[in-house]
A and B are shown apart, each in its own frame.
Chain A
Amino acid sequence: GAVVSQHPSWVICKSGTSVKIECRSLDFQATTMFWYRQFPKQSLMLMATSNEGSKATYEQGVEKDKFLINHASLTLSTLTVTSAHPEDSSFYICSARNRDLNQPQHFGDGTRLSIL
């Protein structure tokens, strides 16, 4: 079945560092990609939606200058957390779908980000 690969799966870095997370669709063209964030014991919260070749649409309350999203190709989207601080520590999950709206939305395995 369709696979979404997310990398890295786990990262620890110092406060003030920028961190890039990659999301790849391995066997389908991801016309739309989504980024979610999940805090412990909570559900997934949608951060932004990006369509290939277009600027991402951010949900209310998500700082677009802090969470930079690039979706330059049909198989790759990146999320960069700029100048990360401890409150940005979370589980970040990407998701992708193709143009066939009968197909389910596929998810990566997530990136656990810890900012010291």
Chain B
Amino acid sequence: DAKTTQPNSMESNEEEPVHLPCNHSTISGTDYIHWYRQLPSQGPEYVIHGLTSNVNNRMASLAIAEDRKSSTLILHRATLRDAAVYYCILRDVFQAGTALIFGKGTTLSVSS
């Protein structure tokens, strides 16, 4: 799977939007962009995924650059419960049955 680059940490205030960036300059045409998050002392939790178009769900939005070399996970209104490590992972559609491989992710802190 192609590599992603994320900032080590970010800070946010409660009730404000958060934009978590991910760079993936070597992405291939068949790589899906997946986002998972891991709350303290828990297993990872699926957030969202997409291929080319922007995606929205009840948890977040995923904005994908036109050249697909970067993407941004958007939390529209951060809450204290959103404090977690966020992982941006690429996975080839033809490797969809294989395990997700996690990088270091971005540690998001949310202040009240």
Chain A residues within CB distance 8 Å of chain B: 4, 6, 32, 34, 36, 43-46, 49, 91, 93-95, 97, 101, 104-110, 112
Interface hub of B43, B45, B97, B103 (most chain A Cβ within 10 A): B43
- Of the candidates B43, B101, B103, B104, which one forms a contact with A107 in the assembled complex, judged by CB atoms under 8 Å apart? B43
User: B residues engaging A (CB < 8 A)?
Assistant: 34, 38, 41-46, 49, 87, 93, 96-105
Measured between beta carbons, the chain A residues less than 8 angstroms from B98 are 49
Query: A101: which of B97, B99, B103 is its contact (CB, 8 Å)?
Result: B97
Binding site secondary structure of chain A: strand
Cβ A106 vs Cβ B46 within 8 A = yes
Residue of B nearest to A47 (CB): B99
Query: In the bound complex, how far is the Cα of B94 from the Cα of A101, in angstroms?
Result: 10
Number of A-B residue pairs having CB atoms within 8 Å of each other in the complex = 49
Q: Which residues of A contact B100 (CB under 8 A)?
A: 34, 95, 105
Q: Contact: A110 with B41, CB < 8 Å?
A: yes
Cβ A32 vs Cβ B103 within 8 A: no
Closest to A42 in B: B104
Q: Are B97's CB and A104's CB within 8 A?
A: no
Give A116 to B103 CA distance when docked, in angstroms.
30
Chain B residue numbers with a CB within 8 Å of A109 are 42-43
A43: min CB distance to chain B, Å: 5
Contact B104 A43 (CB under 8 A): yes
9 contacts between A and B (CB under 8 A): A32-B97, A43-B103, A46-B101, A93-B44, A97-B97, A101-B93, A105-B99, A106-B46, A109-B43
Q: What's the Cα separation between A95 and B87 when bound, in Å?
A: 16
